[in-house]
Amino acid sequence: MTFKAPLLIGLILMLLVAVETGVTQPAPLTDPFVAVVVKVTQPVNILRTGVDKPGVLGLDQRLYPGDRIFCGEGGQVSLIFADTAVEIKVLPNTELTLQGQRATDSIIKRVMLHLGDMLTHVLRGDMEVITPTCVASVKGTQWWTRVDQATQSTSVVVLEGKVRVARQAEAEAEIVSAGNTAVVGASGAIQVNPSEPEDFPVSGKDEDQGSLDIEFQDGNGQPRTLHIEFDR
């Protein structure tokens, strides 16, 4: 099973400002959102920090650190981080929390997967997926993460590149290459074997290319637009 990479990803949001040294720097963003919804099939709900009840997650909605997303039966959502470096696809009966945040000139990309299935596609930079039993981290690759509540285990199915899979509480780790699956049980033991067909979640039907424009203000109060083109 494959996950289409974005055909063209553009980031048109940087306002260059001159400094005394003559070096230009991007102006900081006043809106600290870390990701945006590029596709959603209901039911999908979101619970924000400080809010008592979840609401319906909508298309083009901006996401912030601490947002908790619940995909119900039949619900799916695709997110892209605001720096367009990582895209994730979340399948039905899955629950996760965004834990990333904006740094000075980048986004720290981190997701806590509580249960269910999520596909991660890293185009550049770093990405970390945390589960109850392990941490999967990588630079530039593609993999599925599955948290099974019944067995209290995590499966990491690597499609491209290599993924570092580590126990939650210890430094022990395995480097898992494409074509292999790592399973981390409740005890923390890591087992790596060639991937089998049953390791791959059913992700649903791929659809046509889409695009998204997000308007915001930069650190100087000037209006800017983030334009993203992607395969949905």
DSSP string, 161-196: SEEEEEESSSS-EEEEETTEEEEE-TT--EEEEE--
Q: What does the angle CA 51 – CA 36 – CA 103 come to, to the nearest 5 degrees?
A: 85
For the record, the structure tokens of 62 come out as 């901006």
H/E run at residue 7:
none
Q: How far apart are CA 172 and CA 166, in angstroms?
A: 6
Tens digit of each residue's pLDDT (9 = 90 or more) over 40-54: 999 999 999 999 999
Q: How far apart are CA 133 and CA 187, in angstroms?
A: 8
Task: Pick the range with the lowest mean pLDDT from 17-21, 60-64, 108-112, 221-225.
Answer: 17-21
Tens digit of each residue's pLDDT (9 = 90 or more) over 66-97: 999 999 999 999 999 998 899 999 999 999 99
Task: Pick the range with the lowest mean pLDDT from 18-27, 63-72, 169-178.
Answer: 18-27
HSE-up (13 A, CA, CB side) for residue 99: 12
H/E run at residue 225:
strand 223-231
